[in-house]
Amino acid sequence: MDDTELLRRREAVLGPCYFHFFERPLHLVKGEGVWVWDSAGKRYLDCYNNVPSVGHCHPAVVEALCRQAAELNINTRYLHENIVRLGERLVATLPPELDTCMFVCTGSEANDLAVQLARRFTGNHACLVTEGAYHGNSELVLQLSPGSYPREERPDWLRVIEPPDTYRGRYGGADAGERYAEAAGEVIDAMTAEGQPPAVMLVDSIWDAPGPLRAPDGYLDRLCGKVRAAGGLVIADEVQSGYCRLGEHWWGFQHYGVTPDIVTMGKPMGDGHPLAAVITRREIAEVLARQTGYFNTFGGNPVSTAAGNAVLDVIEREGLLEKVGASGAHLTATLEELAGRHACIGAVTGRGLFQGLDLVEDRGSKAPLTAGALKRITTLIAEEGVLVGTSGVHGQTIKLRPPLPFSSEHAEIAAAAIDKALTRYAEER
């Protein structure tokens, strides 16, 4: 198929709201494990896509999907073993009080439902989010995504706190956690004084959009305490950080010793199949049950949950949580070593298999490289056969977030490609 003609047709029919990665759009036709292939047969190491969590087209997931699709697909108003079993298995990965699971199709739906739960449970309306965060695309959760929503249109019930960024932010010393939490506490006090006490704070446990970030010690626990003291609940948005991605723990919030009131999850749950969930305490779900109840036509159907159970089987069978601990540590060390050789890498941020390279004009000023420069650099990395993405408040960060079976050898391949691309970029300037 002619890629130029496909691009023309895409623009004609899909219109202007979609963008694509890289200077030349990539037409992918096949995936297997951590590898994908383009229409010209070129192979790429996928260091970007976390949705195919256990690897592209994992045979166990494909088999489970096909088997269930050939047998029955129906909705959650009927009894079905797949649905109940996936709920039980997910709840078992969380602290015991988080005992009630509701299925949806996307991370946006999960966060939308979570905010509804929190508002009904607390009786408050206002919400607290991190500057630059992204929590989804419905009317409600896009407003809760300051990185993507026009600043001048922010609703009066929304308050924004700064990201706990120890590289670019106000605080970076040993007391950074305490100071960021204090600054957030002032926002919470002010909103309460203005008659807008928080219903809820949403927090992405890897701060992907303004990061990725590893929050300083003593930040999240203090912050959760302040939100709760003001009458609000805490939603851990684990759409990015959950499912073993950060190594050591199943969920991102577990790195900070806190227990949220509601956990949302999505992207990696179905290895590419749309599947997401909200898990909360029974008393919180009971309020919604009394007032509106909940139904989602496709969320948690037997085919989706067949995929979801197969993903959990693979994580268990292939020991992926333990493997991510080792490969994530190796990836971090490899990127740190690269930073020693390229002055444009200001900092290596993130955790486990979710890493960022914050790129700067010079390390002294920390002036960020532009989004345009990042497009060029990520294109050069793709030309070297590795797919990465971008992130950060200025779009200045190279993001690596590969499928979980990513190994130490793959980390070496990725680092070699970034090394070459940064060298080529420096020569071009």
State the nearest-atom distance from the C-beta of 349 to ligand PLP, in Å: 16
Collapsing DSSP to helix, strand or coil, 263 comes out as strand
State the nearest-atom distance from the C-beta of 51 to ligand PLP, in Å: 9
How far apart, in whole angstroms, are the C-alpha atoms of residue 105 and residue 298? Answer: 7
State the nearest-atom distance from the C-beta of 72 to ligand PLP, in Å: 25
**Cis amide prior to 25 (ω within 30 degrees):** no
State the nearest-atom distance from the C-beta of 146 to ligand PLP, in Å: 13
Residue 403 and residue 328 in contact, taking contact as beta carbons nearer than 8 Å: no
How far apart, in whole angstroms, are the C-alpha atoms of residue 418 and residue 424? Answer: 10
**Orientation of helix 81-91 relative to helix 302-317, angle to 10°:** 40
State the nearest-atom distance from the C-beta of 165 to ligand PLP, in Å: 16
Residue 46 or residue 237: which is nearer to ligand PLP going by CB?
A: 237
State the nearest-atom distance from the C-beta of 264 to ligand PLP, in Å: 7
Residue 350 and residue 211 in contact, taking contact as beta carbons nearer than 8 Å: yes
State the nearest-atom distance from the C-beta of 285 to ligand PLP, in Å: 20
Residue the block writes with tokens 């991605």:
245
Residues 6+ apart with CB under 8 A from 393: 131, 132, 147, 163, 168, 210
Of the candidates 364, 353, 367, the one whose C-alpha atom is nearest the C-alpha of residue 399 is 353
Residue 397 and residue 345 in contact, taking contact as beta carbons nearer than 8 Å: no
Interface residues with ligand PLP (CB under 6 A)?
106-108, 111, 134-137, 204, 208, 237, 239-240, 266-267
Residue 334 or residue 397: which is nearer to ligand PLP going by CB?
A: 397
Residue 111 or residue 196: which is nearer to ligand PLP going by CB?
A: 111
Task: DSSP letter for 57, please.
Answer: T
Residue 84 or residue 158: which is nearer to ligand PLP going by CB?
A: 158
Name residue 343's beta-bridge partners: none
Collapsing DSSP to helix, strand or coil, 264 comes out as strand
State the nearest-atom distance from the C-beta of 279 to ligand PLP, in Å: 15
Residue 136 or residue 216: which is nearer to ligand PLP going by CB?
A: 136
Residue 340: count other Cβ atoms within 10 Å of its Cβ. 8
Q: Which residue is nearest to ligand PLP (CB)?
A: 107
State the nearest-atom distance from the C-beta of 374 to ligand PLP, in Å: 18
Residue 7 or residue 51: which is nearer to ligand PLP going by CB?
A: 51
Residue 138 or residue 192: which is nearer to ligand PLP going by CB?
A: 138
Residue 213 or residue 239: which is nearer to ligand PLP going by CB?
A: 239
Decide the pairing of beta strands 126-130 and 198-204: parallel
228 CB-contact burial (10 Å; exposed 0-12 / middle 13-18 / buried 19+) = middle
How far apart, in whole angstroms, are the C-alpha atoms of residue 369 and residue 380? Answer: 15
Residue 48 or residue 425: which is nearer to ligand PLP going by CB?
A: 48
> CA distances (Å), 62 to each of 33, 44, 206, 303, in order?
12, 21, 29, 11
Return the ∠ at Cα 399 (arms to 393 and 404), rounded to 5°.
Answer: 140
Residue 277 or residue 421: which is nearer to ligand PLP going by CB?
A: 277
State the nearest-atom distance from the C-beta of 203 to ligand PLP, in Å: 10
State the nearest-atom distance from the C-beta of 361 to ligand PLP, in Å: 28
Residue 129 or residue 413: which is nearer to ligand PLP going by CB?
A: 129
How far apart, in whole angstroms, are the C-alpha atoms of residue 422 and residue 290? Answer: 57
Q: What six digits make up the tokens of 300?
A: 């948690």
CB-facing half-sphere around the CA of 427: CA atoms within 13 A? 7
